[in-house]
Structure 1
Amino acid sequence: MLVRLLYASRAVDVSPAALESILSTGRSHNTGSGITGILCYGGGMFLQALEGGRMAVNNLYGHILRDPRHKDVVLLHYEEILERRFGGWTMGQVNLNKLNATTVLKYSERPELDPYAVSGKVSLALLEELMATAAIVGRS
């Protein structure tokens, strides 16, 4: 059974090296676990969608909850799915600071996305638009 999980967290370390560590760890782990997804980052926040088997996604989310690189982890959305939307990425990435403000304003009160202030469905709609407009990099 496939599931999609969407969460937000705050970065403990916002350095480029810390971000690269999260991305490389995710990509190497996710390939073997059958997990795909997207990691959006900006303003010290992460917004991530994970897709895969229920146990694999749940286990990864449990790891993220305990990961000292994340704080204020909040589950935004969880659903059983028929097919993956982000199946082309072991861990695609989006720098939210580089997005056009009008794209973010479609889904948020301010031009800076705050996933803590919007619904999980709104955050998922933004991710789908980013995918449709080729704003996601790191395709694997």
Structure 2
Amino acid sequence: MLVRCLYASRPVQPMNGALLDGILEQCRRNNPRQGITGLLCVADDLFVQLLEGGRDEVCEIFNAIVRDDRHKQVRLLSYEEITERRFGNWTMGHVAIPRVNPSLLLKYFKRVELDPFDGSGQATLSLLGELVATAAIVTRGE
């Protein structure tokens, strides 16, 4: 059975290139062998990640993230059973939120900022879908 999990968290330490590179490398190394696909959005003080794959694998990854000392305020935004992957071509695509068109953020949130803690999980999921459709993903990570 396939599931989709969307969560947000805050980094414990300020985000820097080395920390982000380490997280992306870990995702790109481990996710394919577990059948996990998804996206990671990063801003200075925010992670938003979407995971798709088997229920057991996605739940194990989410539980590991909750225990990961690089994250705080981990919040589940959406979890659902799915019949097909929406982000199946991405082992772990990366979206740099500061580079996203401000009007796109305003379409889904109260202000021109990605704030999944104050918006619906569906709005965040819709934004991710639109980012894929508009080619705002930095890399497929393949």
User: Which structure 2 residues correspond to residues 59-138 of structure 1 after superposition, within 5 A?
Assistant: 59-138=60-139
Cα deviation, 1:58-102, whole Å, max 9, x if unaligned, reads 000000000111110000000000100111111000000111100
Structure 1 CA distance, aligned partners of 2:135 and 2:5? 21
Question: How far 1:12 moved relative to its partner?
Answer: 1.7
Corresponding residue pairs, total: 140
Q: Give the letter aligned to residue 20 of structure 1.
A: D
Cα RMSD of the aligned pairs, angstroms, is 0.7
Task: Give the TM-score normalised by structure 1.
Answer: 0.98
Q: Give the letter aligned to residue 32 of structure 2.
A: T
Task: Give the TM-score normalised by structure 2.
Answer: 0.96
Residue aligning to 1:4 = 4
Question: How far 1:137 moved relative to its partner?
Answer: 2.2
Unaligned runs of 5+ in 2: none
Cα deviation, 1:94-124, whole Å, max 9, x if unaligned, reads 0001111001000011111111000100100
Q: Identity percentage over the alignment? A: 54
Question: How far 1:138 moved relative to its partner?
Answer: 1.7
Structure 1 CA distance, aligned partners of 2:44 and 2:20? 12
Residue aligning to 1:15 = 16
Question: How far 1:11 moved relative to its partner?
Answer: 1.0
Structure 2 CA distance, aligned partners of 1:12 and 1:86? 27
